[in-house]
Amino acid sequence: MPSDWCYINNFAEPHRPRALCLPAGRGRIFRRDMERFIDDMKAAIPSAFESDEYRSRKNVIEGALKERHENAFGALQKRAAESDVALIRTPVGLALAPMRDGEVLSPQDFKALAEEDRGARAEAIERLQKEMEEILREIPRWEKEQREQLKSLNHEVTRFAVGHLVDELKAKWSDHPAALTHLEAVRADVVENADDFLQPDRTDDSPLAEMMRRASKGPDVFRRYQVNLLVDHMLADGDSENAEHTAGAPVVEEDNPNQPNLIGRIEHIPQMGSLVTDFTLIKPGALHRANGDFLLLDARKVLTAPFAWESLKRALANKRIRIETPAEAIGWVTTVSLDPEPIPLDIKVVLLGEPELYYLLNQYDPNFRELFKVAADFSDETPRTAESALAYAHLIAGFTRTEKLRPFGRTGVARVIEHASRLADDSERLSTHMSSLLDVMREADYWAGSAGSDIVEALHVQAAIDAKRHRADRIPERIQDLIQRDILNIETDGARPGQINGLAVSQLGHLRFGRPSRISCRVRLGKGEVVDIEREVALGGPLHSKGVLILASYLSARFAGNEVLSLQANLLFEQSYSGIDGDSASSAELYVMLSAISGIPIKQSLAVTGSVDQHGNVQAIGGVNEKIEGFFDVCKARGLTGEQGVLIPASNVKHLMLRPDVVEAARHGKFHIYPISTIDEGIQILTGIEAGKEDTEGNFPIGSVNREVANKLKALSRRARAVVMQAQSRLIGMANGKQPEHPGGRARRG
């Protein structure tokens, strides 16, 4: 069971308050007991000092000093009179003067005396002066003795006034040694500072006098006996002896984990133009509140708050909470403050954040892996099954209650679940990003209300999805407008060799959208190179360059056999002015290269996406839904002919979660989606000509695409060999014939 923690005054070192640990729920009781003790003390001490007994004893002490004064000066005055010397009081103190017949002599009369008489009187005055000085030297000692006696009396009276109050508290808290130690310290401090509790002289009640009295007295003298309850585990309405305490420390979540909110802070109050503080102004942090249990923190917020991360690590490593200001943390302390006693720390801290943050901290912070040893990587999606769909429906119903939304009908629930699959980019998965779903549900509730419906149906959910996209689709609409105005060249009908529509996906914030791009290829005699123009101008990323190299490997392995490729193919993304990366266009680049080599045109009504391996297998890519919808929007704006469509990897079929209008067009045959597994399947759809398979002798069927590609590559190889032979012949002829003369006049011979 987590304990209550308090800060109490350290009477020996006030700048270092002591931490007091009490059982759960007992801290508030102890604080209340000390408050009652202070109230009782405020009444008991003044009452004790106003009693007749105290006044009598005080008068006796003060009378003794007065009597001592009178006796000493009386004896001195008597001895002076016997020597005809008078002891008189002057404005500057006591003085001795000669007298005769009871009258003080004037200087003229003193000079008129006989010389022998003057000498005797002067000697007597000198002797009496020494005795008077001795008495005056003793007076401070007598007054000190009186003060000690009065102080001892005050201690005795105060001890009697508060002793039974402290004893009652000690009896109640006898099972807590730390509390008993503090109570004894309180008793000793009250007795030692009894004068602080007496009512000051208030003959001057002006505001200035009151302010000066407060300044001289300092803060409220009773504050030092208060209890600063830092961590309280009693129920909010518990304030009695039998009040219940919490079953355990709650799981604490700190939304703003800066350094003061984590480890606590020391507040100050202005007084007489300066800032003062004491232990009652110590405030707890999240580590105090969660001590003994769990603390949830957003890792990114902790890392971006100044000094918070280092303070958190220090507390966890040392297993104690030490309150310090940021200035103290970096050694820039310029003001006097408190140094509270550290509190032992027993806590489990849970950092929540992206996986990237975990791996970065694990890599670059040597203390991280020692302090945070347990990693839990949660998936942002879950399998879509009948059970999970039912759980989703229950979750939606719960959100409608907590968010006070209209109930969702069957179609509304189904549309939300479909949208969850769209967010997961997988028809067999559901997104667990609840914030995105809640946003859609809230907006769907608005559209239902606007339509006057008491139930949220699918059309309201769809309206919310469409409205959210419409608010953010300025850039996609701009691109579509450029395509429709033929500023961006994208063809959707006819057939052309060496040109194809590729598909790309872009992301702006939370919005992802697809856009078609024209990819072209030109082929000529060369050294077997596939030139990636994007890479040559530093616009192609490494993954795209990897895909292009795979194309060269595929061509060499399938068509060249034991020969060397003798072509140079230049690949280019037309009207591309930004970086390109990823290998999702590698299949399109291979198709357009095959078309350029063979001269067979490709249908421009089709667009292609998918990566390819060295064996010609088409592999899955990301963003398939957005890519299909991007090309569909272009075709729809120009008019759907029933010939348009998209080629996608067959392995991406399970990821299809398309917009309703795309699904409707495909259902009625106005738009087609072709899942393919190999390059041969794709090139046959794109050209309308059979791709062709090799026979046992390695030949492709006559009239097939692959036969045309193989023939053109062989023709290039023959041409390359002919060029090489012609060059060799010229060299041989030059070697056997007359050589050109050297400019120096001599013939050069090989």
- pLDDT above 90 for 459: yes
More confident residue, 250 or 597: 597
Q: Band of the pLDDT at 747, cuts 50, 70, 90?
A: very low
Confidence of residue 677 (pLDDT cuts 50, 70, 90): very high
Indicate the pTM of the whole model.
Answer: 0.72
Q: Which of 147-151, 300-304, 670-674, 699-703 has the lowest mean pLDDT?
A: 147-151
If one compares 328 and 48, the residue with the highest pLDDT of the two is 48
pLDDT of 728 reads: 80
The answer to whether residue 517 scores a pLDDT higher than 80 is yes
Give the chain's radius of gyration (CA, Å). Answer: 50
Per domain, the residue ranges of the chain are: 4-25+225-371, 48-197, 381-472, 488-710
Residue 326 has pLDDT above 90, yes or no: no
The whole-number pLDDT of residue 541 equals: 81
- pLDDT confidence of 750, banded at 50, 70, 90? very low
Long-range contacts of 263-268 (CB under 8 A, 24+ apart): 263/287, 263/311, 263/312, 263/315, 263/321, 263/322, 263/323, 263/324, 264/230, 264/288, 264/321, 264/323, 265/323, 265/325, 266/323, 266/325, 266/337, 266/338, 266/340
Give 722-739 pLDDT, tens digit per residue: 887 888 888 887 777 655
At residue 614, does pLDDT exceed 60? yes
Reading the block at residue 596, the tokens are 């350029």
pLDDT of residue 84: 72
Burial of 509 (0-12, 13-18, 19+ CB in 10 A): exposed
Give Cβ neighbours of residue 20 (< 8 Å, ≥ 6 apart). 5, 6, 7, 8, 30, 178, 179, 182, 227
**For the chain, what percent of residues have pLDDT higher than 90?**
52
CATH code, 381-472:
1.10.8.60
Task: Find out whether 489 and 442 touch, Cβ atoms under 8 Å.
Answer: no
Provide DSSP, 537-582: TT-B-HHHHHHHHHHHHHHIIIIITTSPP-EEEEEEETT--S-B--
Region 266-293: mean pLDDT is 88
Report yes or no: 637 and 525 within 8 Å, Cβ to Cβ.
no
Bridge-based pairing of strands 511-525 and 567-573 is antiparallel
The alpha carbon of 414 is separated from its chain's Cα centroid by a whole number of angstroms, namely 37
Per residue in 183-216, pLDDT (tens digit) is 999 999 998 887 777 755 544 555 555 554 554 4
β-pairing verdict for 429-431 and 567-573: unpaired
CA 172 from chain centre, in angstroms, equals: 45
Nearest in space to 417 (alpha carbons), one of 447, 445, 443, 397: 397
Least confident span in 39-48, 371-380, 559-568: 559-568
What's domain 488-710's architecture? 2-Layer Sandwich (3.30)
Is pLDDT larger for residue 627 or for residue 720?
627
- pLDDT-derived band at 124 (thresholds 50, 70, 90) equals confident
pLDDT value at 425 more than 60:
yes
Summarize pLDDT for 208-250 with one digit per residue, the tens: 555 545 544 445 688 899 999 999 887 655 555 555 555 555 7
pLDDT of residue 748: 46
**CA–CA separation, 661 vs 704, rounded Å?**
37
Give the CATH H-level superfamily of domain 4-25+225-371.
Answer: P-loop containing nucleotide triphosphate hydrolases (3.40.50.300)
Cα–Cα nearest to 481, from 606, 604, 644, 634: 634
Looking from the CA of 285 toward its CB, the CA atoms found within 13 Å total 27
Confidence of residue 536 (pLDDT cuts 50, 70, 90): confident
Cα–Cα distance for residue pair 641/634, rounded to 1 Å:
12
Which pLDDT does position 507 carry in this prediction? Answer: 86
Residue 631 corresponds to which tokens in the numbers above? 């090309």
Q: What tens digit of pLDDT does each residue of 94-116 get?
A: 777 777 766 777 777 677 777 77
β-strand partners of 253:
296
